[in-house]
Copies of this chain bind each other. A is one copy, B any other.
Amino acid sequence: MKKYIHSILMAAILPLVGFAQQTPLTQYVKPLIGTAKMGHTFPGATVPFGSVQLSPDTDTIPYAVNGQYTGDVYRYCAGYQYDDPTIVGFSHTHFSGTGHSDLGDILVMPTQGKLQLNPGTADHPENGYRSLYNHDNELAEPNYYRVKLDDHQIKAELTTTTRVGMHRYTYPASDASHLILDLTAGIYNYDGKNVWTVVRVLNDSTLTGYRQTNGWARTRTVYFAIKTSKPFRNYGAKYLDKDVQYRGFWRKFDQEDNFPELAAHNIRMHLDFDTDEGEQIMMKVALSPVSMSNALENMAAEAPHWDFDAVVNQGKKAWEDELSKFTVDMLNKEDLVNFYTSVYHANLMPTVYMDVNGEYKGLDHEVHKAEGFVNYTSFSLWDTFRAFHPWLNLVDPERNADMVSSMMAHYDQSVLQMLPIWSHYANENWCMSGYHSVSVVVDAILKGVYKGDAEAALAVCVQTAKARRYEGIGEYMDLGYVPDDVNGTSVSNTLEYAYDDWCIAQLAKKLGKDDIAAEFSKRAESWRNLFDPSIGFMRPKDSQGKFREEFDVLETHGQGFIEGNTWNYSLYVPHQPEELMEVLGGQSALETYLDSLFTMHLPDKFFANTEDITREGIIGNYVHGNEPAHHVAYLYNLTSSPWKTQERVRQIIRNQYHNGPAGLGGNDDCGQMSAWYLFTSLGFYPVAPGDNHYWLGSPLVKSAEIALQNGKTLKINAVNQSEKNMYVSRVRWNGEDIQGFKISHDDIIQGGELEFVMSSKPKTRR
């Protein structure tokens, strides 16, 4: 009974006291969050925006077998699923939170006992090199991952620098200890994905090579250099190629036994050692986009030694530097974990894509040198233009400027003369709709973040927006919408092009380019052409101007949309929300629409066949796990019930962000879900990047201090914050009441205090 009273007391007291952070802040980061179900994050070791993400892969289900899509591969976008019983190995490249995938390069697995060069299956790990493991023996921290591999009785530890993965394996006594190097392994693999592989064994502890693949990236090459801390006494390889015809080489050398010049489509290697009980063998794997010699140079520059703990600590220090930009006080420790893990997840991608000497492979398949910027790759722009890049504009503008420079370089290297759509590793994969690099470029220029040639940037955006052959742009330019008969996602494209065009118009206005401003302001209205007043929703229309007859407003697939049905997508006019409200029927019509969206019942069938939509990832028919509606909760600000924005964002945070492995309700999408959380937990959100204003919501923090890159400090103070007091009764900026529901970036970036007075009672109109 006494204990019970204590709990009650704690519960009563703590919310008032709050949970302020303690150093090190890395203690609040749980890389395992999002590794179960659809978060698609990876638990392994990496440094902020590191080129290497050294992480366990729990399965290698192929994307396709004999040309047939296998379906289950979607689980393995990040290589790891928390519920899986086995670990296949540790590979060096991973996307964080994507919904399609690639990578998983240079898979390493320590084994001992019988040499096995095939991975085996999850059901029968003993038939391959993979191993059972137990989460009790697993630890995932920023830049440190540890697990015990039960089948081999080997402790595995991983850490990284930006371009080097360092492995430390503790073996039992064995005269048959191995390091398996599976160069056929990869994420979203299929027969023929490995285009070519080279390995050169330079001496008894050094290898270099490369893996060239044809996957989501059509033409991708990862060069590597490997060193082991102990010389291997023997090594060998297995060639898995079916179609190598010229075998003359084999008469000269046995190419599978201690042959140092390996080259084939598919190679698996083994390095063999004798080990004493508890002996540690370390391995360093450096990557390069350019060459093996650059990989060696990267290793020499970043990890010349074998001090594993020093590498761990150096990376943890880098993380602490990122995390400590934020001093926050929150309602409970779980919130601190969610907050700092969101900071972590918003510091993973895009990744650095250049060598220590500045060289990188360009989209044009040429080697370039990044002059005056850090080159980044893996731009999931359809996701990240919404909140992630705006977040960087606020808290890490120099990095975002480099990302814009990277996109401009991509344009320069593009024979299509387009900014990136979804680009990774010197390739464009053209995934998703819109041309949202335009939004990122414009927002960064208008916020003073990108300091390059603005007129050149405008020209590049215009050129991208006029790529007539791309996804219905030509018809969009001619007709004012993408016709349903031309493109399968015609409505998504039209709405997103219209928003992007509005961004271009904003930059053109700023630069005094009146003709461009006029042209793109007109294009920005294109959303109107697909609104069907007879049903009150956006609807696909054919080239003849006829709306599609059979149309399901709840279905996502095959209805002219991508990752969102028309209930969600019809609200996607972030640049002209008031005009949209008018079209929808005015303030109260919008409120009714939003109320319905958040509360309606979605029939079961829509969960079965839709990627990313789970019972957990959805509130009514509002899908937080997909991005098109990320701004929607903020739209209540336009109605007479802004308190519903406050209520909904608190609800979304409480519903969609948890501490466990299944803590993310959908793909983190390269930090977009986390950036949404971060903005929202601070009380504001960039509804339309390219506009200078954030829309106000309801903060989750009790207080926060953000060290801005210009030396100023942004303070958030939520007076009377509590779980119940989710409503905002008053907002002041530097002591003055804010009229309306917006605050400008220009104000915020000068530093100051944003004070929210919290209340348990909704306020109809502030």
Q: Chain A residues in contact with chain B, CB under 8 A?
A: 63-64, 67, 100, 188, 190-193, 195-196, 198, 200-202, 210, 212, 214-216, 218-219, 242-246, 248-249, 251-254, 258-261, 263-265, 291-293, 364-367, 415-416, 421, 428-431, 469-471, 488
A245 to B428, CA, bound (A): 16
- Min CB gap A410→B, angstroms: 13
Please state if A415 and B63 are interface contacts (CB–CB under 8 Å): no
Please state if B430 and A470 are interface contacts (CB–CB under 8 Å): no
Please state if A63 and B246 are interface contacts (CB–CB under 8 Å): yes
A429 to B216, CA, bound (A): 33
Please state if B253 and A469 are interface contacts (CB–CB under 8 Å): yes
A215 to B367, CA, bound (A): 26
Whether A365 contacts B218 in the complex (CB less than 8 A), given A248-B430, A415-B200, A416-B260, comes out as no
Interchain residue pairs A-B with the least CB separation, the first 8: A192-B243, A252-B430, A190-B245, A64-B245, A218-B263, A260-B415, A200-B415, A219-B263
Residues of B within 8 A of A218 (CB): 246, 249, 263-264
Please state if B292 and A191 are interface contacts (CB–CB under 8 Å): no
- Min CB gap A499→B, angstroms: 19
Please state if A245 and B63 are interface contacts (CB–CB under 8 Å): yes
Whether A243 contacts B191 in the complex (CB less than 8 A), given A218-B263, A292-B365, A469-B253, comes out as yes
11 additional contacts (CB under 8 A) given A196-B219, A214-B244 = A63-B246, A67-B245, A192-B245, A195-B195, A214-B246, A214-B265, A251-B471, A252-B421, A253-B430, A292-B364, A292-B366
- Min CB gap A738→B, angstroms: 43
- Min CB gap A241→B, angstroms: 8
Residues of B within 8 A of A198 (CB): 219, 365
Of chain B, the residue at the smallest CB distance from A418 is B261
Of chain B, the residue at the smallest CB distance from A68 is B245
Please state if A251 and B64 are interface contacts (CB–CB under 8 Å): no
Please state if B367 and A244 are interface contacts (CB–CB under 8 Å): no
A276 to B344, CA, bound (A): 66
Whether A365 contacts B67 in the complex (CB less than 8 A), given A192-B243, A258-B469, comes out as no
Residues of B within 8 A of A100 (CB): 248
- Min CB gap A67→B, angstroms: 6
- Min CB gap A728→B, angstroms: 43
Please state if B415 and A202 are interface contacts (CB–CB under 8 Å): yes
Of chain B, the residue at the smallest CB distance from A254 is B469
Whether A214 contacts B196 in the complex (CB less than 8 A), given A253-B430, A430-B252, comes out as yes
Whether A212 contacts B200 in the complex (CB less than 8 A), given A218-B249, A263-B218, comes out as no
A64 to B212, CA, bound (A): 25
Of chain B, the residue at the smallest CB distance from A188 is B246
- Min CB gap A184→B, angstroms: 14
- Min CB gap A358→B, angstroms: 16
A366 to B296, CA, bound (A): 12
Please state if B416 and A261 are interface contacts (CB–CB under 8 Å): yes
Residues of B within 8 A of A190 (CB): 243, 245
Residues of B within 8 A of A248 (CB): 100, 216, 429-431
Please state if B293 and A192 are interface contacts (CB–CB under 8 Å): no
Residues of B within 8 A of A193 (CB): 245
- Min CB gap A360→B, angstroms: 14
Of chain B, the residue at the smallest CB distance from A66 is B243
Residues of B within 8 A of A191 (CB): 243, 245
Of chain B, the residue at the smallest CB distance from A430 is B252
List, sorted by A's number, 9 A–B pairs whose CB atoms are closer than 8 Å: A64-B245, A190-B243, A191-B243, A192-B245, A193-B245, A196-B196, A214-B244, A253-B469, A291-B367
Q: Which of B192, B210, B415 contacts A261 (CB 8 A)?
A: B415
Please state if A470 and B415 are interface contacts (CB–CB under 8 Å): no
The winner among A198, A219, A242, A246 for most chain B CB atoms within 10 A is: A246
Residues of B within 8 A of A214 (CB): 196, 244, 246, 263-265
- Min CB gap A182→B, angstroms: 19
Of chain B, the residue at the smallest CB distance from A367 is B291
A291 to B367, CA, bound (A): 9
The winner among A201, A261, A366 for most chain B CB atoms within 10 A is: A261
A243 to B265, CA, bound (A): 13
A245 to B201, CA, bound (A): 32
Residues of B within 8 A of A292 (CB): 364-366
Residues of B within 8 A of A258 (CB): 469
Whether A366 contacts B291 in the complex (CB less than 8 A), given A245-B63, A415-B201, comes out as yes
- Min CB gap A363→B, angstroms: 9
Of chain B, the residue at the smallest CB distance from A207 is B415
Please state if A196 and B216 are interface contacts (CB–CB under 8 Å): no
Please state if A488 and B245 are interface contacts (CB–CB under 8 Å): no
Please state if A249 and B210 are interface contacts (CB–CB under 8 Å): no
Please state if A470 and B293 are interface contacts (CB–CB under 8 Å): no
Please state if A215 and B365 are interface contacts (CB–CB under 8 Å): no
Please state if A471 and B252 are interface contacts (CB–CB under 8 Å): yes
- Min CB gap A573→B, angstroms: 24
Residues of B within 8 A of A431 (CB): 248
Of chain B, the residue at the smallest CB distance from A414 is B261
- Min CB gap A293→B, angstroms: 5
Residues of B within 8 A of A195 (CB): 195-196, 265
Please state if B67 and A249 are interface contacts (CB–CB under 8 Å): no
Residues of B within 8 A of A416 (CB): 260-261
Whether A470 contacts B63 in the complex (CB less than 8 A), given A216-B246, A291-B366, A292-B365, comes out as no
Please state if A251 and B219 are interface contacts (CB–CB under 8 Å): no
The winner among A218, A469, A470 for most chain B CB atoms within 10 A is: A218
Residues of B within 8 A of A188 (CB): 246
Of chain B, the residue at the smallest CB distance from A259 is B469
A193 to B243, CA, bound (A): 8
A620 to B193, CA, bound (A): 55
Residues of B within 8 A of A260 (CB): 415-416
Please state if B415 and A67 are interface contacts (CB–CB under 8 Å): no
The winner among A252, A263, A421 for most chain B CB atoms within 10 A is: A252
A293 to B431, CA, bound (A): 28
- Min CB gap A731→B, angstroms: 44
Q: Which of B261, B365, B429, B469 contacts A249 (CB 8 A)?
A: B429
Whether A365 contacts B216 in the complex (CB less than 8 A), given A245-B193, A415-B200, comes out as no
A366 to B223, CA, bound (A): 11
Residues of B within 8 A of A63 (CB): 245-246
